Amino acid sequence: SQELEQSPQSLIVQEGKNLTINCTSSKTLYGLYWYKQKYGEGLIFLMMLQKGGEEKSHEKITAKLDEKKQQSSLHITASQPSHAGIYLCGADMRGGSNYKLTFGKGTLLTVNP
Amino acid sequence: DARVTQTPRHKVTEMGQEVTMRCQPILGHNTVFWYRQTMMQGLELLAYFRNRAPLDDSGMPKDRFSAEMPDATLATLKIQPSEPRDSAVYFCASGSRRRGILPANEKLFFGSGTQLSVL
């Protein structure tokens, strides 16, 4: 079974709509990273969360890590076609300044103009 | 802007041939990662280098894959012999790891990947 579950697997929204992507684990997440990937390209770092209850925002994207540090959400407000792509969460699931990130399988976001 | 450079971008080869993928990490970064991405498995870590030393290659099939860092500006991933099941996108990423400071790992910078097709 996948250690990091992302939902939904894919999402189609109309431009201007809000949306949320979730990343869930049964284990503690010691560091949670959100990346965005465009087709045919590498991953681009969005945000990193470490503390339970932490929330970060950049432009129209907000990421949160729950108090138990087992679930994170990525929220996009007033989506635009430029937000389209694959969103991946990656997490340090071992702690102790571990270098290994486990990634979810990604959420494919389509934003229709 | 500093970026991780990977070559080639695309590679089509026949089963049994040797494949070499190259990566130039961002200058000053002390960690290099090789990842493989497939539809079925998602992103899998193949190898991890810190200060050019290979610290973890447990994700690699040992009999056919090898990863090296001949110098700080070049990381290579070789497959010999290649098999159809190796078809995937291979990403290199670099970052900085700082001792005694949290988070120990700063964000990773990914290259654009090498799309490998083994026929």
The torsion angles phi and psi of A77, rounded to 5 degrees, stand at: -100, 135
Q: How far apart are the first and last CA of chain B?
A: 36
The torsion angles phi and psi of A8, rounded to 5 degrees, stand at: -75, 175
CB atoms B42 and A33 under 8 Å: no
Lowest mean pLDDT among A59-63, A99-103, B43-47, B111-115: A99-103
Residues paired with residue A37 on neighbouring β-strands, in sequence order: A43, A86
How high is the mean pLDDT of chain A?
91
Q: Which of A48, A88, A100 is nearest residue B107 as measured by Cβ atoms? A: A48
Confidence category of residue B100, pLDDT binned at 50, 70, 90 = low
Residue pair B75/B25 in contact by the 8 Å Cβ criterion: yes
Distance from CA of B45 to the nearest CA of A (A): 8
Residue pair B110/A43 in contact by the 8 Å Cβ criterion: yes
Distance from CA of A77 to the nearest CA of B (A): 24
Distance from CA of B71 to the nearest CA of A (A): 21
The strand pair at B19-24 and B74-79 is best described as antiparallel
Question: How many whole angstroms separate alpha carbon A18 and alpha carbon B74?
Answer: 42
Chain B residues in contact with A90 (beta carbon < 8 A): 43
Q: What is the pLDDT of residues A16-70, one digit of tens each?
A: 999 999 999 988 888 899 999 998 788 999 999 988 999 999 999 999 999 898 9
Question: How many whole angstroms separate alpha carbon B78 and alpha carbon B70?
Answer: 13
Residue pair A109/A86 in contact by the 8 Å Cβ criterion: yes
Q: Structure tokens of A72?
A: 């994170």
CB atoms A106 and B42 under 8 Å: yes
What number of C-beta contacts closer than 8 Å exist between A and B?
56
Chain B residues in contact with A69 (beta carbon < 8 A): none
Q: Which residues contact A80 (CB under 8 A, 6 or more apart)?
A: A15, A60, A111
CB atoms B43 and A45 under 8 Å: no
The strand pair at B10-13 and B114-118 is best described as parallel
Write out the E strands in chain B: 5-7, 10-13, 19-24, 31-38, 42-50, 53-56, 65-71, 74-79, 88-95, 109-110, 114-118
Residue of B nearest to A103 (CA): B43
Q: According to the model, what pLDDT value does residue B103 have?
A: 55
Q: Which of A42, A97, A103 is nearest residue B112 as measured by Cβ atoms? A: A42
How high is the mean pLDDT of chain B?
90
Q: According to the model, what pLDDT value does residue A100 have?
A: 77
